[in-house]
């Protein structure tokens, strides 16, 4: 007799005989899904903690600067206490789901609404208008910027990360092409940190020669 066991890594049914192989297949099946749900649960708990913590910090900043006539202190406290936590080590976790990314974006939306209403109390609030007037970028745009900045700084020697140099290589085109990808990644996953950094850096390299003058090295904004 044979029993059909669903392989955890594919949708195909593999046939295994009764014995140690069957028990090993069951063990591998539960082991795989246990760590999958554990990892998913950990990420969800971490995102919920960051959201609640940053929301409390933003409320604290709002109360501290309530009677201030200028927004300079409000901006400084937000960037130092709140946004720094929202972007900490973003090169590693930038492949989060859109739900978690939107949750982080809501913190900055609250800050933009707070600042815009204090600066223009008589104007109807619009998030796009607030970002333009306050000269803010979305957190998603900033994370992509930090990705390409990290990789370029590694190649310039400003940051020490030998593992990135082993995975990400340079391509030299035989002919000049504007759509040429300068950085090549030896990775099968598009969501890996090295692949994301290379993709972001390739976009920057199309508009600027990052290996030319040092003065055009992108700065953190």
At 221 the pLDDT is 56
What mean pLDDT comes out for the span 108-114?
A: 94
Q: If you search the block for the tokens 């940053």, which residue do you land on?
A: 54
Spatial separation of the C-alpha atoms in residues 135 and 133, rounded to whole Å: 5
At 204 the pLDDT is 83
Q: How confident is the model at residue 219 (pLDDT cuts 50, 70, 90)?
A: low
Q: How far is CA 203 from the centre of its chain?
A: 16
Calculate the average pLDDT of the chain: 79
> How many domains is the chain built from?
2
Which of 1-10, 46-55, 95-104, 179-188 is the least confident region? Answer: 1-10
At 39 the pLDDT is 66
What mean pLDDT comes out for the span 159-183?
A: 80
Predicted confidence (pLDDT) per residue in 71-85, tens digit: 889 999 999 999 999
Classify residue 15: in a domain, yes or no: no
Classify residue 60: in a domain, yes or no: yes
In terms of domains, do 48 and 86 share one? yes
Q: How confident is the model at residue 5 (pLDDT cuts 50, 70, 90)?
A: very low
Q: Say if CB 172 and CB 159 are below 8 A apart.
A: no
Range of the domain at 194: 147-206
Spatial separation of the C-alpha atoms in residues 175 and 127, rounded to whole Å: 44
What letter does residue 81 receive in the DSSP assignment?
Answer: I
At 195 the pLDDT is 86
- pLDDT of residue 17 exceeding 60, the answer is no
In terms of domains, do 64 and 154 share one? no
Spatial separation of the C-alpha atoms in residues 169 and 179, rounded to whole Å: 17
The pTM (predicted TM-score) of the whole model is: 0.72
- Distances in Å between the Cα of 122 and the Cα atoms of 127, 131, 160, 188 are 15, 17, 50, 52
């Amino acid at each position: 007799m044979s029993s059909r066991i669903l392989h955890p890594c594919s949708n195909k049914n593999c046939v295994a005989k009764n014995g140690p192989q069957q028990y090993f297949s069951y063990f591998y099946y539960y082991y795989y899904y246990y760590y999958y749900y554990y990892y998913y649960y950990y990420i969800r708990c971490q995102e919920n903690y960051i959201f609640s913590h940053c929301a409390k910090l933003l409320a604290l900043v709002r109360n501290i600067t309530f009677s201030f006539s200028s927004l300079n202190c409000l901006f400084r406290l937000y960037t130092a206490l709140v946004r720094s936590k929202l972007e900490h080590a973003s090169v590693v976790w930038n492949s989060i789901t859109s739900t978690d990314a939107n949750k982080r974006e809501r913190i900055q939306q609250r800050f933009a609404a707070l600042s815009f209403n204090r600066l223009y109390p008589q104007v109807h609030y619009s998030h796009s208008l607030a970002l333009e007037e306050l000269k803010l970028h979305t957190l998603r745009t900033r994370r992509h910027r930090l990705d390409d900045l990290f990789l370029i700084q590694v190649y310039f020697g400003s940051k020490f990360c030998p593992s990135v140099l082993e995975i990400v290589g340079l391509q030299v085109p035989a002919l000049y092409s504007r759509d040429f990808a300068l950085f090549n990644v030896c990775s099968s996953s598009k969501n890996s940190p090295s692949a994301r950094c290379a993709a972001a850096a390739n976009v920057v390299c199309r508009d600027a020669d990052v290996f030319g003058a040092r003065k055009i090295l992108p700065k953190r904004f």
